[in-house]
Amino acid sequence: MAASQMLAVDRSACAGHGMCYGTAPDLIDCDDQGDPILPERRLSDDETAAAHDAVAACPERALSLVEATASAS
């Protein structure tokens, strides 16, 4: 079984143009500045598949999947 994963964003690399939340709108929201709002929890298998698509869609390579920490619910 694969380890649970979470989404993470490098805010210094993010250009805020929205390819991620345009690709996975059910998973990633955006604030009024156009910056992504990520779910701060472990992703389900279906969410992880959508997250992979969002990571691939980010032209700045600012978005990544990371192993969930023990404290993440």
Report CA-CA distances (Å) from 24 to 1, 7, 36: 24, 12, 11
Q: Judged by CB, which is closer to ligand SF4: 36, or 70? A: 36
Q: Judged by CB, which is closer to ligand SF4: 27, or 58? A: 58
List binders of ligand SF4 among 10-69 (CB under 6 A). Answer: 14-20, 36, 58, 60, 62-63
Which of these segments, 8-16, 41-49, 65-73, binds ligand SF4 (CB under 6 A)?
A: 8-16
Q: Judged by CB, which is closer to ligand SF4: 12, or 71? A: 12
Residues 6+ apart with CB under 8 A from 21: 28, 29, 30, 36, 54
How does DSSP classify residue 41? S
